[in-house]
Chain A
Amino acid sequence: MTNSDPRFGGPGPEARWTEMLADGIFAIQRCGACGAAQFPPVATCKACGAASPDMIPADGRGTVYSTTTVRAREGDHDVSIVELSEGPRLMTCVTGIAPGDVRIGMAVTARIERAADGPRVVFDAPEAT
Chain B
Amino acid sequence: MTDLRGAISIAGIGNTQRWDAPGRSAFDQLQEASILALEDCGLSLADVDGLYCAMSVSGFPVLNVAERLGIAPQLRHADGTMVGGASFLFHLRSAMSALATGQCDVALVCYGSNQRSAGGRLAAMPDPQPFEAPYKARYPISGYALAAARHMHDYGTTRAQLAEVAVAARQWAKLNPAAFERGDITADEILASRMVSDPLTKADCCLVTDGGGALVLTRTDRARDLRQPLVPVLGTGVAVSHRQIAAMPSLSETAAKRSGAAAMAEAGVSVADIDHVMLYDAFTICTLLFLEDLGFCAKGDGGPFAASGAIAPGGDLPVNTNGGGLSCNHPGMYGLFTLIEAAVQLRGQAGARQVPGAEIALAHGNGGVLSSQATAILGTAATL
Q: A79-B136, A89-B246, A91-B246 are in contact. Are A68 and B149 (CB under 8 A)?
A: yes
Interface check A35, CB cutoff 8 A = no
Query: Mostly helix, strand, loop or mixed at chain B's interface?
Result: mixed
Interface residue? B134 (CB, 8 A): yes
In the complex, the answer to whether A71 meets B136 with C-beta atoms within 8 Å is no
A66 touches B195 (CB 8 A): no
In order of increasing CB-CB distance, the 6 nearest A-B pairs are A68-B145, A120-B134, A66-B150, A40-B131, A66-B146, A69-B198
Which A residues are CB-close (under 8 A) to B194?
71
User: A107 in the interface, Cβ–Cβ < 8 Å?
Assistant: no
Binding site for B on A (CB under 8 A): 14, 39-40, 65-72, 77, 79-81, 89-93, 100, 104-105, 115, 117-118, 120
- The answer to whether B272 has its CB under 8 Å from any CB of chain A is no
Instruction: Report the interface size class on chain B.
Output: 20 to 34
**Are B130 and A71 in contact, with the CB atoms below 8 A?**
no
- Residue B196 CB within 8 A of the other chain: yes
Total inter-chain residue pairs, C-beta < 8 Å: 75
A89 to B245 CA separation, bound complex (whole angstroms): 10
Q: Which residues from B are CB-within-8-Å of A91?
A: 131-132, 135, 137, 244-246
Beta-carbon contact of A104 and B149 below 8 Å: yes
Please determine whether A68 and B131 come into contact, CB atoms closer than 8 angstroms.
Answer: no
Docked-complex contact B197 and A66, CB < 8 angstroms: no
Q: Answer whether A100 and B198 are a contact pair too, CB < 8 Å, given A66-B147, A79-B146, A91-B132.
A: yes
- Do A79 and B134 touch across chains, with their CB atoms under 8 A apart? no
A104 with B146: in contact, given A79-B136, A91-B244 (CB under 8 Å)?
Answer: no
Q: A65-B251, A81-B246, A89-B246 are in contact. Are A70 and B137 (CB under 8 A)?
A: yes
Are A92 and B135 in touch, CB under 8 angstroms? Answer: yes
User: A66–B251 contact, CB under 8 A?
Assistant: yes
Whether the Cβ atoms of A68 and B245 lie closer than 8 Å is no
Known pairs A68-B197, A69-B198, A71-B197; A79 contacts B135 (CB<8 A): yes
